[in-house]
Amino acid sequence: MDSLLRYQLNALRAVEAAGRLGSMARAAEELGVTVGAVSQQVLKAEQRLGRPIFSRTPRGLEPTVLGQQLLAGLSRGFGEIAQALTVAEARAEHVLTVTVAPVFASKWLVPRLHRFHEAHPDLQLRIDASVGLVDFTASDVDVGVRVGAGPWPNVRADYLLDQALFPVCSPALAGAVRRVGDLSRIPVIHDYGSPQNWEIWLAAQGHPGLPLGAGPTFSDAALCLDAAIAGQGLMIGWQTLAQDALRDGRLVSPFPTPVPTGLSYWLVGSARERPPAKVRAFGAWLRQELECS
Residue 157: the pLDDT is 93
**For position 107, what pLDDT does the model report?**
95
Q: Tens digits of per-residue pLDDT, 188-224?
A: 999 988 889 999 999 999 999 999 999 999 999 999 9
Sheet holding 143-148, edge to edge: 124-129, 95-100, 143-148, 259-270, 155-168, 235-238
Q: What is the mean pLDDT of residues 167-183?
A: 94
pLDDT at 139: 78
9 contacts 77 by C-beta, under 8 angstroms = no
- Is the pLDDT at 90 greater than 60? The verdict is no
Could you tell me the pTM of the whole model?
Answer: 0.68
Give the bridge partners for 124, in sequence order. 95
Instruction: Please give the residue that has the higher pLDDT: either 186 or 2.
Output: 186
pLDDT band at 88; cut points 50, 70, 90: low
| The pLDDT of residue 3 | 44
- Classified as helix, coil or strand, 177 is coil
Q: How far is CA 117 from CA 40, 122, 277, in A?
A: 53, 8, 15
Contact 212, 205 (CB under 8 A): no
Q: What pLDDT is attached to residue 83?
A: 66
Q: What is the pLDDT of residue 84?
A: 64
Higher pLDDT, 81 or 15: 15
DSSP string, 10-42: HHHHHHHHHHHHT-HHHHHHHHTS-HHHHHHHH
Which residue in 268, 266, 204 sits closest to 236, CA to CA?
Answer: 204
Taking only the tens place, the pLDDT of each residue in 221-264 is 999 999 999 999 999 999 999 999 999 999 999 998 999 999 99
pLDDT above 70 covers a percentage of the chain that reads 94
| pLDDT attached to residue 94 | 82
| Cα R_g (the chain), whole angstroms | 31
CB 32 within 8 A of CB 70: no
Instruction: Please tell me the predicted confidence (pLDDT) of residue 293.
Output: 72
> Does the pLDDT value for residue 175 go beyond 50?
yes
Q: What confidence tens digit (pLDDT) does each residue in 39-87 have?
A: 888 888 888 888 888 888 877 788 888 888 888 888 888 777 766 665 5
pLDDT score recorded for residue 106? 94
Mean pLDDT over residues 254-282, rounded?
Answer: 91
